[in-house]
Amino acid sequence: MNFCPMEIQMKNKTLWILLTFVALVFNTTLATAKLEPLPQQSEAAHLAGEILSKHHYKPIPLDDSLSVKIFDQYFKTLDGEKIYLLQSDIDSYANARTKLDDAINDGDMSIPFAIFNLYQQRITERFNYARSLLKKGFDFSTNESYQFMRKDAPWPKSIAELNDLWRKRVKNDWLRLKLAGKKDDSIVETLNKRYENSLNSLAKVKSEDVFQGFMNAYAMVIDPHTNYFGVRASEEFNISMRLSLVGIGAALINKDEYTVIKELLAGGPAILSGKLKPGDRIVGVGQGENNPVTDIMGWRIDDAVSVIRGTEDSVVVLDILPADEGTDGKHKLISLVRKKISLDKQAAKKSIIEVKDGKVTRRIGVIALPGFYQDFAARQHGDKNFKSASRDVEHLLEELKKDKVDGVLMDLRNNGGGSLNEAVELTGLFIAKGPVVQQRDSKGNVRIEVDDNASSVWDGPMGVLINRGSASASEIFAAAIQDYGRGLVIGEKSFGKGTVQTIVDMDQIVKNDKPKYGELKMTIAQFFRIDGGTTQLRGVTPDIPLETATNTDDFGESSYDNALPWTKIQAAEYTPADALSDTLPKLIANHNKRVSQDKDFKYLREDIAELNNLRKKNLISLNETERRKERETREAREKLRENIKGENASESASALASSRALQDDGMQPGERNFKADQAIENASKNAKDILLNEAAHILSDETVLLKTKPRLATNVMP
């Protein structure tokens, strides 16, 4: 079972969104009580060390040299922004720099846990200090700035330096709320509750969270895509691959110590009952009709989810405090029968974009694929209807044929990968029989993955839309389409992950009856394009690049210190179509002309320039007059843009409503009322996707150029 795991899911955000999250509090789910390692963790650490040292693609001895790297990575994992720990804290564990290899080999987790306990102590001190500042207030007439990204900064050398850093953080939190129109009393109440919630969340961390964090630090110094999954994390990963679970069909969030229903999933027991709605609070859970209901107030969301899920056709009883009731409102008990839930929102979806060209309208079918999922277990058990990305896309392609689309665009933006087999089978839907990708194992053996199907499902014009968040299996697919000359690759350079992982179930190795040790996601091979090159580090370079706000220094394979280098092997035998090489210059010229005259792209370039300038400065003013002037300038610019965009009154009103919903209100998720959070989420979802629209225009141009070439019309058009 080889796969290219789903990596960081990242969306480009506007300047408004960046400013909204400039002052977010990081790493707050930790414990105030000292945590101790569990016996099974010692055993799991030793077993993981044995496996990674001997069977990884690039096996590295677990010795003092590697221990130093683990030490640095562990502290980076805990406090990457260097806002909690002092340099003296790091120095106090200097003797442990070369002892973490022994800790893993011997199964002695005392040092990692001691480091973590010091870390959570520092966090408690920081938030207590933050709360103390609220009693004093701030002078916003002074000229000082706050550095909001500190990963490259040195560790603070003294409590005084750390206090000053946090004074500025809290001052910025206060100022953002003040600029959004909040009064001082309301600001104090909001921030006090925010910091109190952060402290309350410290009590919810568990020993397994600490262990997983440390083992991940070990795994990731070997290579960036090797990871350790605890038992619960393993199950969540498996759910993401099979896109199904057994439960009630509700997405849940934490808000004010409540487990709140964020969304009801189509076809699930919750929505079919007609008794639940978004915003309802689950305060208790019972297993079966006649068993007691357990109070889950204040529980972690994953703990709440674990008792709400269960075996298929079993009964769960929910104690519900309705959304429209106050905290002392009337509860109701609701019984539901758990069923298998298909996570369709994470599956492939189709849409059609109509592109007008004079009097002609062309229809471009778009298939958005969030991940290369496959239900491995169902397939192994012979289930002919097992869930898979390629199967879903094949079905959608047949539908798009009936819809008489002129071209098909695969939207793989922020698709972090998944099953390597699915990438091969998806490629086979667009090409005739031939090689798709090459794999080289640790011994240098090369295996070519081939599409054996002699026919394709869609042989018409097609393109692939990618961004920096397109990784692994996405890159395999995009690279194969590009190497064959089968379609256009549009967007920004992809992530650059050219390695293959497999899941190693440590409980299976030692034949445990129940999950106890967790799993390793371990790199076992490197994949190569059929032209012999690899996507490793370099990614897939689009044929037609689009504007991007991504900071490639912070995101992508090249941002990792220990990423494998780029290399090349012998090309596979394949015949490129060469269908697009002579049309590409014309397509690029049409694209450049179109975006040069498009006001949305003009605005995008302006926002990117401002965002890059803000990143470069890495400072935000704490002077109210200056910040208010900046905010007013942005608001005036947004209002002017929406007035220009609004070709009719309804479009202008809708665009302005979305813009207002996304303005910085100084609040964090969970601090607004439920409807306000929903409005922001909906505004983000409904925002105009100018990159997708331009990709559709490019593909529309391609269909025209291909029709003027008789040979290509015969070979390529449906």
Q: Which among 54, 17, 40 is positioned nearest to 504, based on CA atoms?
A: 54
The sign one gets for the Cα dihedral 296, 299, 305, 307 is negative
Position 247: which residue type? G
Give the span between the Cα atoms of 639 and 647, in whole angstroms.
Answer: 14
d(CA 487, CA 93): 55
Strand partners, 451: 434
Return the half-sphere exposure (C-beta side, CA atoms, 13 A cut-off) of residue 663.
Answer: 21
Which residues lie closer than 8 Å to 73 by C-beta, 6 or more apart? 217, 218, 220, 221
Positions marked catalytic: 472, 483, 497
The C-alpha atoms of residue 695 and residue 702 are separated, in whole angstroms, by 11
Asked whether 442 and 524 are in contact (CB, 8 A), the reply is: yes
What is the enclosing helix (H) or strand (E) of 355? Answer: strand 349-357
Query: Going along 239-303, which residue ranges are E strands?
Result: 244-247, 250-255, 258-264, 281-287, 293-295
Choose among 635, 580, 541: nearest CA to 15: 635
The two structure tokens encoding residue 611: 């965002």
- Return d(Cα 546, Cα 691) in angstroms, integer: 7
Rg for the chain, CA atoms, rounded:
27
Q: Hey, which residues does 367 pair with through a beta bridge?
A: 350, 410
Burial 556-569 (b: 16+ CB within 10 A, else e): bbbeeeebbebeeb
Q: Decide: 278 and 678 in contact? Cβ < 8 Å.
A: yes
Name 438's Cβ contacts closer than 8 Å, sequence gap at least 6.
446, 447, 448, 449, 527, 528, 529, 530, 532, 569, 572
Q: Residue 15's closest CA among 700, 609, 701?
A: 609
Q: Could you tell me which residues are beta bridge partners of residue 364?
A: 353, 407
Determine the Cα angle at 559 with ends 5 and 126, to 5°.
95
- The CA distances from residue 310 to 270, 337, 469, in Å, are 14, 10, 33
- For the record, the structure tokens of 78 come out as 């805990």
Contact 329, 265 (CB under 8 A): no
Amino acid at 157: K
Which of 300, 190, 278, 251 has the alpha carbon at shortest distance from 678?
A: 278
Cβ-count burial 203-234 (b if 16+ within 10 Å, e if not): ebbbbbbbbbbbbbbbbbbbbbbbbbbbbbbb
Please tell me the distance from the alpha carbon of residue 376 to that of residue 422, in angstroms, as a whole number: 11
In whole angstroms, how far apart are CA 480 and each of 395, 426, 449? 21, 11, 11
Non-local CB neighbours of 243 within 8 Å, separated by 6+ positions: 342, 343, 344, 346, 347, 373, 375, 387
What is the enclosing helix (H) or strand (E) of 232?
helix 231-242
Looking at the chain, the number of H-run helices and the number of E-run strands are 24, 23
Helix, strand, or coil here: 276? coil
Strands (E), 144-236: 145-146, 227-229
Chain centroid offset of residue 153 CA: 25
Residue 582, both tokens: 């002579």
C-alpha distance from residue 218 to each of 53, 100, 112, 501, 558 (Å): 11, 9, 11, 16, 20
